[in-house]
Amino acid sequence: METVSVIGDGTAPPESELYRVAVKVGRLIAEKGYALVTGGLFGVMEGASKGAKEASGLVVGILPHYEELSNPFIDIKIPTGLGHARNVIVVSTSRTVVAIGGGYGTLSEIGHALKMGKRVLGYKTWGVKGIENYESLDDFLNALSNAI
């Protein structure tokens, strides 16, 4: 089964736009038959995981610690003990990486993904050369639908 990795703002609350967008993205990924890979924690990672589960998708969480603490929508928990270094694993597992908002952790994942030659689609994320970055939700979802 092929995967799509979703990265982004780990602090986005459920009532935020970024979380709601992540739910839509996760649902779309699952409906297209892909497994979802995230960092397994909260914010955008949780939103995407929730959306994928609503569409009966498979969700993999690459966790930063040895404990299995994760959002409640993860099917396969991979506790790495690597902290932020697990970001490399999150983006290396998929040909397509989706960035939604995000801080420096997301920026590091984007850098690794681009260095590996991955396709990176972004919604309101870092303005880094090589990212297909969108401000319009409709344009972003259409691009993602066509990319996977």
Q: What is the CATH number of the domain that holds 101?
A: 3.40.50.450
d(CA 148, CA 32): 7
CB of 4 within 8 A of CB of 106? Answer: no
**What mean pLDDT value characterizes the chain?**
97
| Neighbouring C-beta atoms of residue 102, cutoff 10 Å | 25
pLDDT of amino acid 61: 98
Mean pLDDT of 13-27: 98
pLDDT of amino acid 142: 95
Q: Which residues pair with 97 in a beta bridge?
A: 5, 120
With a threshold of 0.85, does the pTM exceed it? yes
Half-sphere exposure of 112 (CA within 13 A, CB side): 22
CB of 77 within 8 A of CB of 68? Answer: yes
d(CA 61, CA 76): 6
> 1 pLDDT exceeds 90?
no
Q: Among 9, 5, 6, 27, which Cα is nearest to 18's?
A: 9
Tens of pLDDT, residue by residue over 30-52, are 999 999 999 999 999 999 999 99
At 68, the pLDDT band (50, 70, 90 cuts) reads confident
Domain that holds residue 105: 3-147
pLDDT of amino acid 146: 94
Instruction: Please give the tally of structural domains in the chain.
Output: 1
Residues with Cβ within 8 Å of residue 88, at least 6 apart in sequence: 112
Tens of pLDDT, residue by residue over 78-131, are 999 999 999 999 999 999 999 999 999 999 999 999 999 999 999 999 999 999
Tokens (6 digits) for 90? 């999150």
